[in-house]
Structure 1
Amino acid sequence: MQRFGTLSFGHYGPLGGGRILTAGDSMLQAIDLAQGMDDLGVDGAYFRVHHFARQQAAPMPLLSAIAARTERIEVGTGVIDMRYENPLYLAEEAAAVDLISGGRLALGVSRGSPETVVRGYETFGYTGSADPRGADLAREHMDLFLRAIDGEGLAERDPASPFSRGATGMQRIEPHSPGLRSRVWWGAGNRDSAEWAGRTGVNLMSSTLLTSADGRPFDILQAEQIDAFRAAWREAGHAGEPRVSVSRSIIPITTAEEHMYFGGRQDGDQIGMIDGMTSTFGKSYAAEPDVLVEQLLQDAAIAAADTLMITIPSQLGVEFNLRIVESFAKYVAPALGWVGTRAGAQA
Structure 2
Amino acid sequence: MKRIGFLSFGHYGTGRGSQTNSAADSLLQAIDLAVAAEEIGIDGAFFRVHHFARQQASPFPLMAAIAARTSRIEIGTGVIDMRYENPLYMAEQAAATDLISGGRLQLGVSRGSPEPAANGAADFGYFPDDGESTADMARRHTARFRQAISGTGVAEPGEHAYMGGERLLRIEPQSPGLSRRIWWGAGSRATAVWAAQQGMNLMSSTLLTEDTGVPFDQLQAEQIQLFRDEWAAQGHDFTPRVSVSRSVIPVVDDVDRMYFGLRSQAENKDQVGMIDGLLSRFGKSYMGDPEDIARDLAADAAVQAADTLMLTVPNQLGVDYNAKMLGNIAKYIAPAIGWTPNAG
When normalised by structure 1's length, the TM-score is 0.94
* In 1, Cα distance between equivalents of 2:328 and 2:234: 40
Which residue does 2:13 correspond to in 1?
13
| Identity level (%) | 58
Which residue does 2:334 correspond to in 1?
333
Amino acid at match of 1:301: A
Instruction: Flag the 1:265–1:129 CA change in 2: closer, same or farther, 3 A.
Output: farther
Q: Mark the runs of 5 or more structure 2 residues left unpaired by the alignment.
A: none
Which residue does 1:54 correspond to in 2?
54
* In 1, Cα distance between equivalents of 2:131 and 2:261: 42
Task: Report the RMSD for the aligned CA atoms in angstroms.
Answer: 1.7
- Cα deviation, residue 341, structure 1: 3.9
Question: Mean alpha-carbon deviation: is it higher for 98-107 or for 18-27?
Answer: 18-27
* In 1, Cα distance between equivalents of 2:177 and 2:212: 39
Which residue does 1:277 correspond to in 2?
278
- Cα deviation, residue 232, structure 1: 1.2
* In 2, Cα distance between equivalents of 1:119 and 1:81: 13
* In 2, Cα distance between equivalents of 1:74 and 1:324: 19
- Cα deviation, residue 241, structure 1: 1.5
- Cα deviation, residue 264, structure 1: 3.8
Which residue does 2:185 correspond to in 1?
187
* In 1, Cα distance between equivalents of 2:132 and 2:87: 21
* In 1, Cα distance between equivalents of 2:201 and 2:18: 43
Post-superposition Cα deviations, 1:213-264, rounded to whole Å, max 9, x if no partner, equal: 1211110110000011111111111023200000000011111100111114
Post-superposition Cα deviations, 1:189-224, rounded to whole Å, max 9, x if no partner, equal: 001111111011111100221011121111011000
Paired residue for 1:175, among 170, 173, 179? 173
Paired residue for 2:237, among 236, 239, 252? 239
The total of aligned residue pairs comes to: 341
- Cα deviation, residue 157, structure 1: 2.0
- Cα deviation, residue 327, structure 1: 0.5
* In 2, Cα distance between equivalents of 1:259 and 1:120: 39
Amino acid at match of 1:284: S
- Cα deviation, residue 15, structure 1: 1.7
Q: Secondary structure at the match of 2:292?
A: helix
Q: Mark the runs of 5 or more structure 1 residues left unpaired by the alignment.
A: none
Instruction: Flag the 1:60–1:39 CA change in 2: closer, same or farther, 3 A.
Output: same
Which residue does 1:319 correspond to in 2?
320
Instruction: Flag the 1:169–1:25 CA change in 2: closer, same or farther, 3 A.
Output: same
- Cα deviation, residue 50, structure 1: 0.3
- Cα deviation, residue 39, structure 1: 1.1
CA contact under 8 A between 1:264 and 1:286: conserved in structure 2?
no
Q: Secondary structure at the match of 1:171?
A: coil
CA contact under 8 A between 2:79 and 2:110: conserved in structure 1?
yes
Instruction: Flag the 1:187–1:19 CA change in 2: closer, same or farther, 3 A.
Output: closer
* In 2, Cα distance between equivalents of 1:9 and 1:301: 22
Amino acid at match of 1:280: R
Amino acid at match of 1:206: S
When normalised by structure 2's length, the TM-score is 0.95
Question: Are positions 1:71 and 2:71 aligned together?
Answer: yes
- Cα deviation, residue 285, structure 1: 0.7
Instruction: Flag the 1:19–1:64 CA change in 2: closer, same or farther, 3 A.
Output: closer
CA contact under 8 A between 1:157 and 1:167: conserved in structure 2?
no
Amino acid at match of 2:315: S
Which residue does 2:302 correspond to in 1?
301
Q: Secondary structure at the match of 1:169?
A: coil
CA contact under 8 A between 2:295 and 2:336: conserved in structure 1?
no
* In 1, Cα distance between equivalents of 2:51 and 2:321: 27
Instruction: Flag the 1:100–1:16 CA change in 2: closer, same or farther, 3 A.
Output: same
Instruction: Flag the 1:291–1:20 CA change in 2: closer, same or farther, 3 A.
Output: closer
Instruction: Flag the 1:136–1:205 CA change in 2: closer, same or farther, 3 A.
Output: same
CA contact under 8 A between 1:130 and 1:136: conserved in structure 2?
no
Structure 1 stretches of 4+ moved >4 Å: 17-20, 129-133, 165-168
Amino acid at match of 1:308: L
Instruction: Flag the 1:263–1:19 CA change in 2: closer, same or farther, 3 A.
Output: closer
Q: Secondary structure at the match of 1:280?
A: strand
Q: Secondary structure at the match of 1:27?
A: helix
- Cα deviation, residue 130, structure 1: 6.3
